Amino acid sequence: MVFSSATFLIVFLPLTMALYYLLGVKITKSMAVKNLILLIASLIFYAWGEPVYIILMLLSIFFNFIAGKDIEQAQRRKDKKKAKSVFIFAIIFNIGVLGFFKYANLFISTFAGITGLGLRPLNLPLPVGISFYTFQIMSYIIDLYKGNIKAQKKLFVFALYVSLFPQLIAGPIVKYKDISDQLMNRKENWASYSKGINRFIIGLSKKLILANTLGSIYASVQASGAENMSVLTAWIGIFCYTLQIYFDFSGYSDMAIGLGGVFGFEFCENFNYPYIAISITDFWRRWHMSLSSWFRDYVYIPLGGNRCKVPRVIFNLMVVWLLTGFWHGAAWNFVLWGVYYGILLILEKYILDNLVKKIPKILRWFVTMVAVMVGWVMFSAPSIGEAFRYIGVMFGRSASFADATGSFLLTTDFALLLIGFACALPVYSFLTGLLSPKKRSRLILALTPLLFVLCIIFMISETYNPFLYFRF
């Protein structure tokens, strides 16, 4: 199930909220009941989209719960060897499951392509959210082994941690150590509820009003093929995608954080206006922060981080970025995208650092945005070859600079591009900062309900599906 669907908004969410607050908060006032309601809701939420793969998730939960207990028990008995072997086994299990379901197809078809063997890919569909929940589980196992946390004693609370529906399928990646207290002890109140609802609507609007609309423009540009594209069209297209992926992803995180708030949780932030970044390093401090911090804590620092000699630091960075790229999808263009960022970050760190400081900020921002947009071409292209053709068009390898398609897009979608651009930058908080506090608070009263109604309009109208007599 996704948040921007009729099933979620009409049936699932109201029902879960009503049960949680009536049965959990008002009548029984019991943490166990509240958690049980959330767990059942989360399992239904997942099963609704993955009626088969929910078994995989349950197995993974069960296995890691036992592994966690074993590690703790071994450590208590000072049996370091056993703790280590269980830990390594658990990590291999988790990476193995993720690797098999996410990457087997890619490896088999690439291997077959190179060797010319007629191997058939498995064509397993990717279980939704597996990249997210596996990383959450691994944060639990690693922190447990390192002694940062205690093992969760109750299976159903551990299951709730893994499957908690607000952040289950698209993050933020919440580390167990950050949320373990809230699982056992949290207090719902008006502040977190109303903040959560407002945040949820912001996220829903990002997804339904902005991301989907911008996405359809990029899709039409991409469909026309790089060989027929003018420079202008290519830039409009990738600009739309740049905004789309931000609104899509950060919108989902907003919805997750908002829904968390509705049920009394406080999740970590995941985005902080990435498109105002003035360097690539800055960008990655603002984009998908929970993933970067996961890789920092569990890969980069264990490898030695930057407290080593330069060649080793470069190696560490490349490992992290290769993995980051790969994590985003089982295709080689994601790897290219990760390596691209790895190289840019290393360049920034060792070569450009002093040079860049002399350049005016606005120029640094501009160059950063161009680099990010080029990155999104690699990210979104169907293949590496297509990505390079598209980038070629952006930088002039095209028959025309501006054609009718480009100028039509620009005239008819100008308002949308402008609104999207403004929403991706902190323009709203700047403008409302100019208002008196009183007016600012009145504004939210009008804005959120209006956005919600707009979301409903956009959600329903997207299903408009006229049947045209095909015999014409």
Partner 1 sequence: MEKKKVNSKNVKRTKKSSKQDYFVYECLSALIVTVILFAVSLLSLIGKDREYSENENRYLTTKPQFSWSSLMDGKFMDDAEAYLSDQFLLRDKLVSLRTDIDVFFGKREINDVYIGKKHFLFEKPSVFNEARVKKTTDAMNNLKAKNQGINTYIAIAPNSTEILGGYLPSNAPVPNQTEQINKIYQSLSGYTPIDLCGPLKKVQDPQELYYRTDHHWTSKAVDIAYAEIARGMGLDPAAYQYQNLPVTDSFQGTLASSAGIFSAKDTISVPTCPSDVMYRVTYVDENRVTTSVFDPQKLNSKSKYEVFFGGNYSQVVIESSSSSEKVLMVVKDSYANSLIPLLIPHYKKIIIVDPRYYNDNIQNIIDTESVTDILWLYNANTFLNDTSIAAKLS
Please say which residue, 116 or 467, places its beta carbon nearer to partner 1.
467
Please say which residue, 306 or 429, places its beta carbon nearer to partner 1.
429
Please say which residue, 186 or 199, places its beta carbon nearer to partner 1.
199
Selected range binding partner 1 among 82-90, 177-185, 237-245, 448-456, rule: CB under 8 A: 448-456
Instruction: For residue 395, give every residue at least 6 positions away whose Cβ sits within 8 Å of its Cβ, in sequence order, or none.
Output: 231
CA separation (Å) from 396 to 156, 226, 227, 236, 377?
Answer: 57, 12, 12, 14, 15
Selected range binding partner 1 among 47-55, 75-83, 148-156, 282-290, rule: CB under 8 A: 47-55
CA separation (Å) from 442 to 31, 205, 419, 438, 454?
Answer: 35, 19, 22, 6, 19
Please say which residue, 61 or 208, places its beta carbon nearer to partner 1.
208
Selected range binding partner 1 among 137-145, 300-308, 378-386, 444-452, rule: CB under 8 A: 444-452
With contact defined as beta carbons under 8 Å apart, do 345 and 355 qualify?
A: no
CB of 457 to partner 1, least distance (A): 5
Is 453 an interacting residue with respect to partner 1 (CB under 8 A)?
yes
CB of 425 to partner 1, least distance (A): 19
Torsion sign across C-alpha atoms 35, 39, 42, 48: negative
Minimal CA–CA distance to 369: which of 289, 275, 285, 287?
275
- Site string (388-427) toward partner 1, x via CB under 8 A: ---------------xxx-xx-xxxxxxx--x--------
CB of 401 to partner 1, least distance (A): 15
Query: Using CB under 8 A, which of 23, 48, 312, 315 touches partner 1?
Result: 48
Is 62 an interacting residue with respect to partner 1 (CB under 8 A)?
no
Pairwise CA distance, residues 173 & 270, whole Å = 9
Is 49 an interacting residue with respect to partner 1 (CB under 8 A)?
yes
331: DSSP letter = S
Please say which residue, 149 or 459, places its beta carbon nearer to partner 1.
459
Query: Using CB under 8 A, which of 85, 194, 202, 211 touches partner 1?
Result: 194
Q: How many other C-beta atoms are found inside a 10 Å radius of the C-beta of residue 253?
A: 26
Tokens read off for 287:
């984009």
Tokens read off for 352:
């450009």
Pairwise CA distance, residues 359 & 282, whole Å = 16
Query: Using CB under 8 A, which of 13, 97, 149, 377 touches partner 1?
Result: 13
Percent helix / strand / coil, the chain, rounded to 5? 75, 0, 25
Query: Using CB under 8 A, which of 97, 201, 346, 423 touches partner 1?
Result: 201
Count of residues interacting with partner 1 (CB under 8 A): 66
Q: How many other C-beta atoms are found inside a 10 Å radius of the C-beta of residue 160?
A: 23
Burial of 142 (0-12, 13-18, 19+ CB in 10 A): buried
With contact defined as beta carbons under 8 Å apart, do 69 and 146 qualify?
A: no
Per annotation, catalytic residue among 82, 328, 397, 440: 328
Query: Using CB under 8 A, which of 114, 117, 191, 362 touches partner 1?
Result: 191
Answer yes or no: 288 catalytic: no
Pairwise CA distance, residues 288 & 270, whole Å = 5
| Residue ranges that bind partner 1, judged by CB under 8 A | 1, 5-7, 9-11, 13-14, 17-18, 48-49, 51-52, 190-191, 193-198, 201, 403-405, 407-408, 410-416, 419, 437-438, 440-442, 444-449, 452-454, 456-461, 463-469, 471-472
Q: Which residues are catalytic?
A: 328
